[in-house]
């Protein structure tokens, strides 16, 4: 039932006594319609019994044809621009403080990483924790370029090549690298070295030792080929391209025996 219908419930109508003779009766007595003062009741409802209730149309903008469409279009464009700017800012923050992508340009980390593989680096890894043996890290290399290698020794370690089985030792413990990450068919190192890694620095080597210009090649740089931990950009933890080679880059159990 509409409000207009409700407003008519009090409208008057003729009333005839039940015992009055219709033949002699005069004009029927009428009861005036009850009226409700205007302004009483829901907004927009007029006096009861007067007629259909007035309605207040909903606001529909300026009321001028064609004026609202440009405003809506401008609002939509503004929202789109805000989303785009927000996305760019978020990407920059992630790139600056959290994650960064790198591609592999050389054979030095084969077969763990191949040419044109793409990896993701966690840039917070060493802000929240320490460099670990076996980590694959991206760092500012000896020539100032971004470089990727595996950590063999950390600050305080005694790294040496080689024992009587041609194995690299860390603190006197031989590393069992063959069949784990070392490129098939190559020796752990074709070059001898005996280095005590300074605190705050790391000794790094590629997995393809015959094709890796790593710490062994810069032993005359004043730091015995080691790299400062401050020059490490982050730890590579995921290979995400190509799709058929997607995998996490975890620390090998080779280093679990090193103390």
Which residue do the tokens 């370029």 mark? 145
Q: Is the bond preceding residue 88 a cis peptide, omega within 30 degrees? A: no
Mapped onto helix, strand or coil, the DSSP state of residue 53 is: coil
pLDDT reported for residue 178: 95
Structure confidence by residue, pLDDT tens digits, 38-96: 443 333 333 333 344 444 444 444 555 555 667 777 778 877 877 777 777 766 666 56
The domains of the chain are located at 1-12+19-57, 98-257
Structure confidence by residue, pLDDT tens digits, 123-165: 999 999 999 999 999 999 999 999 999 999 999 999 999 999 9
pLDDT reported for residue 67: 58
| Residue 83 parent element (H or E) | helix 68-97
| Backbone torsions φ then ψ of 244, nearest 5 degrees | -80, 0
Structure confidence by residue, pLDDT tens digits, 9-35: 333 333 333 333 333 334 444 444 444
CA distance 181 to 177: 6
| Backbone torsions φ then ψ of 231, nearest 5 degrees | -90, 0
Structure confidence by residue, pLDDT tens digits, 100-121: 999 999 999 999 999 999 999 9
Residues belonging to the active site: 108, 149
Mapped onto helix, strand or coil, the DSSP state of residue 142 is: coil
Residues 98-257: name the CATH superfamily. Answer: Umud Fragment, subunit A (2.10.109.10)
Mean pLDDT to the nearest integer, 161-172? 96
The token pair that represents 180 in the structure block = 């784990």
CA distance 146 to 151: 15
Q: Is the dihedral of CA 176, 181, 184, 187 positive or negative?
A: negative
Q: Is the dihedral of CA 200, 121, 176, 184 positive or negative?
A: negative
Number of helical (H) and strand (E) elements in the chain, helices listed first: 3, 12
221 and 143 in contact (C-beta within 8 Å)? no
With CA atoms as reference, report the closest residue to 102 among 118, 115, 116, 91.
118
Contacts of 77 (CB under 8 A, 6+ apart): none
CA angle at 102 for the pair 97 and 105, rounded to the nearest 5°:
155
């Amino acid at each position: 039932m509409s409000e207009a219908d409700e407003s008519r419930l009090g409208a008057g109508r003729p009333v005839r006594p039940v015992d009055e003779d219709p033949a002699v009766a005069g004009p029927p007595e009428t009861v005036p319609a009850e009226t409700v003062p205007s302004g009483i009741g829901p907004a927009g409802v007029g006096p009861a019994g007067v007629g259909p209730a007035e309605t207040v149309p909903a606001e529909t903008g300026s009321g001028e044809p064609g004026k609202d469409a440009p405003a809506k279009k401008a609002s939509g464009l503004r929202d789109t621009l805000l989303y785009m700017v927000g996305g760019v800012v978020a990407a920059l923050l992630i790139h600056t403080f959290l994650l960064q992508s790198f591609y592999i340009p050389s054979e030095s980390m084969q077969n763990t990483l191949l040419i044109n593989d793409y990896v993701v680096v966690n840039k917070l890894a060493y802000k929240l924790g320490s460099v670990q043996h076996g980590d694959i890290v991206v760092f500012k290399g000896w020539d100032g370029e971004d470089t990727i290698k595996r950590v063999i020794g950390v600050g305080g370690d005694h790294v040496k090549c080689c024992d009587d089985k041609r194995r690299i030792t860390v603190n006197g413990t031989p590393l069992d690298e063959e069949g784990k990450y070392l490129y098939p068919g190559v020796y752990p190192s074709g070059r001898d070295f005996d280095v005590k890694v300074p605190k705050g620095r790391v000794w790094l080597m590629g997995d393809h030792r015959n094709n890796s210009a790593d710490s062994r090649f810069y032993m005359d740089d004043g730091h015995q080929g080691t790299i400062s931990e401050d020059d490490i950009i982050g730890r590579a933890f995921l290979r995400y391209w190509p799709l058929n080679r997607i995998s996490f880059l975890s620390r090998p159990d080779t280093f679990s025996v090193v103390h």
